[in-house]
Amino acid sequence: MNIWQPVIEALESLNGNKVRSSLTILGIVIGVAAVIAMLALGAGAQDTILGSLSGIGTNLLFVFRGGEDESIRNPEPLTIGDAEALADEFAAPSIEAVAPVIQGNAEVSFSGEASTVTLTGVTPAYFPARNYKIDEGEEITEEHILGRASVVLLGVEVADKLFDRREGLTGEIIRVEGQPFRVIGVLEERGGGMMGSQDNEILIPFSTAQARILRRSPADKVDIIFVQATDADSVISAEEEISQIISQRHRTAVGENDFTVFSQQDMVDTASSITGILTVFIGGIAAISLLVGGIGIMNIMLVSVTERTREIGLRKALGARKRDILTQFLIESSLLSLVGGLIGIALGWGIGFVVGIVATNSGTPFEPVVGLDAVLLATLFSAAVGLFFGIYPANRAANLVPVEALRYE
Consecutive 10-residue runs of the chain (409 residues): their mean pLDDT? 59 68 79 80 73 64 74 76 88 88 90 88 88 88 92 91 86 91 89 64 92 81 88 83 87 76 74 74 73 74 71 72 75 79 86 80 70 75 73 71 59
Nearest one of 167, 192, 216, 161 to 50, comparing CA atoms? 192
For residue 183, the model assigns a pLDDT of: 93
* Planar angle of CA 350, 361, 280, nearest 5 degrees: 50
Provide the pairing of β-strand 196-197 with 192-193.
antiparallel
Contact 300, 337 (CB under 8 A): no
For residue 141, the model assigns a pLDDT of: 92
DSSP 3-state of 131: coil
Distance CA 307, CA 297 (A): 15
For residue 128, the model assigns a pLDDT of: 84
Return the exposure string of 313-327: e unless at least 16 CB atoms fall within 10 Å of the residue's CB, then b. Answer: bebbeeebeeebbbb
For residue 113, the model assigns a pLDDT of: 84
Nearest one of 370, 377, 341 to 42, comparing CA atoms? 370
Distance CA 199, CA 337 (A): 46
Neighbours of 380 (CB within 10 A): 11
For residue 10, the model assigns a pLDDT of: 60
Contact 186, 138 (CB under 8 A): no
Q: Up-side HSE of residue 191: CA atoms within 13 Å toward CB? A: 16
Amino acid at 176: V
Helical ranges in 91-146 per DSSP H:
126-130, 142-146
Distance CA 122, CA 218 (A): 18
Provide the pairing of β-strand 173-176 with 134-137.
unpaired
DSSP character at residue 196: E
Contact 270, 361 (CB under 8 A): no
